[in-house]
Amino acid sequence: MSDVASAARALLTRGLRLVVVSLGEKGAVFADDTQTLLATPPAIACTSTVGAGDAMVAGIVAAVRDGAPLESIARLASAFAVGKLGLPGPNLPSRAGIEGLAARVLITPLRPSDLHVLPKRKP
């Protein structure tokens, strides 16, 4: 996990404002200039993984558009993705369903001391 979080932090040094790395069923790492978080979604019965990544991106876009802080972005994006897993076809749960899933996403802050330092790239 620390390698993924370190790589996300390294991408921020290149001018990005938000980096998200999906870890599949293990959740996702979310990083901005102030913090790095691990978002672990609740376990649900999976109907299909098709569209889960797209749903996660939709959650990210919706939260960023609303000016949400990183934890809210992580919760909403994870809820969209996990909500999609439980439904066939191009469907998402209702707003109440998404909000319920978002409340169940476990957020774990990753401290800098938890991360391995990446070697600097040579130009």
**Residue 9 confidence (pLDDT) above 60:** yes
The 10s digit of each residue's pLDDT in 91-110 is: 889 999 999 999 999 999 99
**What pLDDT score does 66 carry?**
97
Query: Which band of pLDDT confidence, cut at 50, 70 and 90, is reported for residue 111?
Result: confident
Q: With a cut of 50, say whether residue 120 has pLDDT above it.
A: no
In the annotation, is 54 catalytic?
yes
For the chain, list the domains and their CATH numbers. Answer: 2-113 (3.40.1190.20)
Q: Provide φ and ψ at 39, rounded to 5°.
A: -105, 120
**Of the listed 3, 32, 33, 54, which one is catalytic?**
54
Confidence label for 4 from pLDDT (cuts 50, 70 and 90): confident
Over residues 15-19, mean pLDDT: 94
Q: What is the identity of the amino acid at 99?
A: E
